[in-house]
Amino acid sequence: MPSELIRQYMRIDHLPHIWCAGCGNGVLTRDVAVAIDELCHDPEHPIAREKVVIVSGIGCSSRAAGYLDFNSIHTTHGRAIAFATGIKLANPGLTVIVVTGDGDCSAIGGNHLIHAARRNVDMTVVVYNNNIYGMTGGQYSPTTPRGDLATTAPYGVIDRPFDIAGLAAGAGASLTARGDTYHVRETIDLIKKGIRHKGFSLIDCYSVCPTYYGRKNRKGDAVEMLTRQKENGVRPEAYSALSEEDRVGKYVIGTLTHSNYPEFTAEYQKMIDKAMAGRAEA
Amino acid sequence: MGKTVLMQGNEACVEGAIAAGMRFYAGYPITPSTEIAEGCAARLPQVGGHFIQMEDELGSMAAVIGASAAGVKSMTATSGPGFSLMQENIGYACLAEIPCVIVDVQRSGPSTGLATAPSQGDYQQARWGTHGDHPMIAISPASVAETYRLSIRCFNLSEKYRTPVIFLMDEIVGHMREGIEIPEPDSYPVWNRRVAGNDGAYKFVYRVPEGQWVPGLKPFGAGERYNMTGLVHDYSGFPTNSNEVAQQEITRLMEKVLKNKDDIVQIQEYAMDDAEYAVVAYGGTTRAAMEAVRSAREAGIRAGLWRPVTVWPYPDERLQERLPQLKGILMVEHNYGQMLREVQRAAAGSVPIDFIGRINGTVIPPEEILKKLREVSRHAK
């Protein structure tokens, strides 16, 4: 029996989903739904469900748009953030959430990612980062760790991986954070923070792909992979207390960078007001 | 009477689009289309619209589709290299049925080519640039005044048939400057997409109402939650692997254009009533062809101009109406023979066809067309 949350926010006639047993994407999709649900029920500043638009690209992650019962658009590979930019500018009143994967947003879509971050268009990008191209059968992605195996890296990856949150922060994203599939409550709160944030926010969520990435690299089953996230994902305070040596393999679960840089559509509205006033006077 | 102004083709494209209700533009700078981006950057905020300079043409086309899905008439403009980059998402707009206008101010190719030189080398790309079978409407203007009017028409057809429309301009028309009379707003129709008809939430969003060719399109955020995808989808907007639905839906996409050619196709004819020789030209080559036809008439050659204004779908039937009276066709275009193929196909061997093309970045002068007409007519006698 589906839970009340699933009944309310998932398109149950399109379930079961296509993800493999043990895939982290279902957990992250639930996190997105809970985050929106909690914001819709915020007693002081509720967001409107009908104004939420979920935008996705192509890949395992991007199937989430079809399962989530909101306005949703499943776009082309790598272009979700660019579609989202058009949607947000056309109607700044919409709450735009992009669901994307590590390959979708940082390989083929890398250019859109850094420029949307730079512009600071108000949207929340939730990256389902599973270190692999799952949909096409396990090729290495820009976040596959060096030395790991993939179907297109039979002797190990020699590329240096991207830190997607760090990439977005470097490009000017005004909020970046990291969640994962194990730390559910923290990740929900980070997605909520991203949606509330007026500007470009990116929540880099480590997912697990036991089918391709895990199996190929002897990372164990889904439970083992999640257990590793439990051990390695630490809160910012705990992380800063660790010695350099103890930080190896560990990562921060929480907000990474945050600024109040002016948001694009708000700035654009000022320009419209000025231009239209100029016309009225003339 | 509207007021008369001196205007460039690219500027007329912007003004026509705004008159049609365009309120979102995303693009990337490229010669010879750049004045369209510059015009939109200046003009859109004045009418409450948005302009954004994207990081590339892939993103531009994506943003245009996104904005249209959110309910705003949207446009981008580019030239050959950028047009190539837009093709994947043009296909998305075809399949998901999102109205939008893509302006291609053609320049000489292939690749970076002769970057500022005139060409009509994207004619076939406009039809077949994106992968898979898909419908396409493309319109090619021949003057600044026409650019204004046809820019409006591109939006109208796009909204009516829920499909991307290519405004196939070229460097000649884009950079041409002439006095035009701005039409009064009530002198042309403005078509807005049908939004009604998809009540009943996401489950029926792509259901085509009786007697219509396309479903209504409700903007995101207007109260219904539905899904759009570039996967083949059924009436609910969700992906399907049904071969039957795929057959039915792709057929509908093709036929919504092909079965409405009477509405979509426009041609221009000059001195065709008693013509024995038809000069076929379009876009930026039209005027040279027209001039050559006038001179030919003075020289006693019964020539006429036959020009597709709608260049896709191809006006086969309209050309075929003229075939019985013709002794010959002279195709004139700035490429290696792209529309020539369509003329040959439509004429199906019934009339001899000659060709003048140009691939070196220069224009075809009227004298050259006249010379060929003299040769052709002498031959026939």
| Domains, chain B, with CATH or none | 4-187 (3.40.50.970), 201-262 (no CATH), 266-380 (3.40.50.920)
| CB-CB contact of A74 with B231 (8 Å) | yes
Going by C-beta distance under 8 Å and a sequence separation of 6 or more, which residues neighbour residue B375? none
Residue with tokens 């016309």: A279
Closest-CA distance of chain A to residue B205, Å: 11
Residue type for A33, please? A
- For residue range B216-271, list pLDDT tens digits in order: 888 998 888 889 999 999 998 999 999 999 999 999 999 999 999 999 999 999 99
Mean pLDDT of B154-183: 97
Q: Which domains does chain A have, with CATH numbers?
A: 4-281 (3.40.50.970)
Are the C-beta atoms of residues B154 and B190 closer than 8 Å to each other? no
- Sheet with strand B303-308: strands edge to edge: B267-270, B303-308, B277-280, B328-333, B353-357
Work out the mean pLDDT of chain B and round it to a whole number.
Answer: 95
Q: Look at residue B381 and tell me whether its pLDDT is greater than 90.
A: no
* Cβ contact A111–B66 (<8 Å): no
Asked if A91 lies within 8 A of B58 by C-beta distance, the reply is no
**Mean pLDDT (chain A, rounded):** 96
* Cβ contact B40:B25 at 8 Å: yes
Give the chain A residue whose CA is nearest to the CA of B223: A50
* pLDDT given at position A279: 77
B-proximal residues of A, 223-252, CB under 8 Å? none
Mark A133-166 as b/e (b = at least 16 C-beta within 10 Å).
Answer: bbbeebbbbbbbeeebbbeebeeebeeebbbbbe
Pick from A76, A84, A114: which is nearest to B92 by CB?
Answer: A76
As a whole number of angstroms, the distance between CA B377 and CA B292 comes to 14
Contact B221 A71 (CB under 8 A): yes
pLDDT number for residue B105: 98
Q: Determine the average pLDDT of the residues in A89-115.
A: 98
Look at residue B87 and tell me whether its pLDDT is greater than 60: yes
Are B92 and A71 a contacting pair at CB < 8 A?
A: no
End-to-end CA distance of chain B: 48
β B164-170/B100-108 pair status = parallel
**What's the confidence (pLDDT) of residue B193?**
93
| The predicted structure's pLDDT at residue B200 | 54
Are the beta carbons of B225 and A72 separated by less than 8 Å? Answer: yes
Amino acid B45: pLDDT: 98
Whole-number Å distance between alpha carbons of A198 and A112: 19
Find chain A residues with C-beta within 8 A of B230's C-beta. Answer: 74-76
SS3 annotation, chain A: CCCHHHHHHECHHHCCCCCCCCCCHHHHHHHHHHHHHHHHCCCCCCCCHHHEEEEECCCCHHHHHHHECCEEEECCCCCHHHHHHHHHHHCCCCEEEEEEEHHHHHHHCHHHHHHHHHHCCCEEEEEEECCEECCCCCEECCCCCCCCCECCECCCCCCCCCCHHHHHHHCCCCEEEEEECCCHHHHHHHHHHHHHCCCEEEEEEECCCHHHHHHHCCCCCHHHHHHHHHHHEECHHHHHHCCCCCCCCCEECEEEEECCCCCHHHHHHHHHHHHHHHHHHC
Residue contact B45–A55, C-beta within 8 A: no
Chain B interface includes A62 (CB < 8 A): no
- Averaged pLDDT, B294-309: 98
List chain A residues with CB under 8 Å of B130. Answer: none
Contact B67 A271 (CB under 8 A): no
Residue type, B196: A
Judged by a CB distance cut-off of 8 A, whether residue A1 touches chain B is no
Q: Which residue of B has its CA nearest to A272?
A: B45
Name chain A contacts of B74, Cβ cutoff 8 Å: 86, 90
* pLDDT tens, residue by residue, A41-89: 999 999 999 999 999 999 999 999 999 999 999 999 999 999 999 999 9
Report yes or no: A171 at the B interface, CB cutoff 8 Å: no
Q: Indicate the pairing of strand A233-234 with strand A200-206.
A: unpaired
Please report the pLDDT score of residue A2 as a whole number. Answer: 73
Q: Which among B50, B89, B222 has CB closest to A76?
A: B89
Task: Say which of B220, B225, B227 has its CB closest to residue A94.
Answer: B220
> Nearest CA to CA, how far is B228 from chain A (Å)?
5
State ipTM.
Answer: 0.96
Residue B55 with chain A: CB contacts under 8 Å: 111-112, 114-115
Q: Chain A residues with CB inside 8 Å of B95's CB?
A: none
CA distance B125 to chain A (A): 20
Task: Answer for the pair B279, B307: CB distance below 8 angstroms, yes or no.
Answer: no
Best interface-test mutation with B: which of A76, A88, A263, A268 has the largest number of B CBs within 10 A? A76
CB contact under 8 A, A79 and B55: no
- Quote the pLDDT of residue B223: 80
Using CB atoms, pick whichever of B55, B64, B220 lies closest to residue A53.
Answer: B220
Residue A280 has pLDDT above 80, yes or no: no
The answer to pTM > 0.95 is: yes
For B101, how many CA atoms within 13 A lie in the half-sphere containing its CB?
Answer: 35
Region A9-25: mean pLDDT is: 95
Buried b (16+ CB within 10 A) or exposed e, A191-215: bbbbbbbebbbbbbbbbbbbbbbbe
At B189, the pLDDT band (50, 70, 90 cuts) reads very high
As given in the structure block, the two tokens for residue B142 are 């021949």
CB contact under 8 A, B65 and A86: yes
The pLDDT-based confidence of B203 (bands split at 50, 70, 90) is low
Give the pLDDT score at A183.
Answer: 98
pLDDT at B222: 86
| Residue A8: both structure tokens together | 């309310």
CB contact under 8 A, B238 and A66: yes
Q: Determine whether the interchain pair A83/B24 forms a contact, defined as Cβ–Cβ distance below 8 Å.
A: no
Q: Is A70 on the interface with B (CB under 8 A)?
A: yes
Q: What is the reported pLDDT for B2?
A: 80
Contact: B50, A70; criterion CB under 8 Å: no
Q: How many residues does chain A have?
A: 282
- The better pLDDT of the pair B32, A282 is held by B32
For chain A, percent of residues with pLDDT exceeding 70:
99
Pick from B67, B225, B229: which is nearest to A89 by CB? Answer: B67
Among B47, B56, B62, beta carbon nearest to A83: B62
Burial of B380 (0-12, 13-18, 19+ CB in 10 A): exposed
Which of B85, B227, B233 is best to mutate for the A interface (most A CBs within 10 A)? B227
Q: Does A113 lie at the interface with B, CB-CB under 8 angstroms?
A: no
Radius of gyration of chain A (CA): 19
When CB atoms are compared, the residue of B50, B58, B60 closest to A90 is B50
pLDDT digits (tens, 9 = 90+) for A234-275: 999 999 999 999 999 999 999 999 999 999 999 999 999 999
Question: A10, A47, A72, A99: best mutation site toward chain B, by most B Cβ within 10 Å?
Answer: A72
- Judged by a CB distance cut-off of 8 A, whether residue A53 touches chain B is yes
Cα distance between residue B53 and residue B321, in whole Å: 46
Q: Is the pLDDT of residue B197 over 60?
A: no
C-alpha–C-alpha distance, residues B373 and B290, integer Å? 12
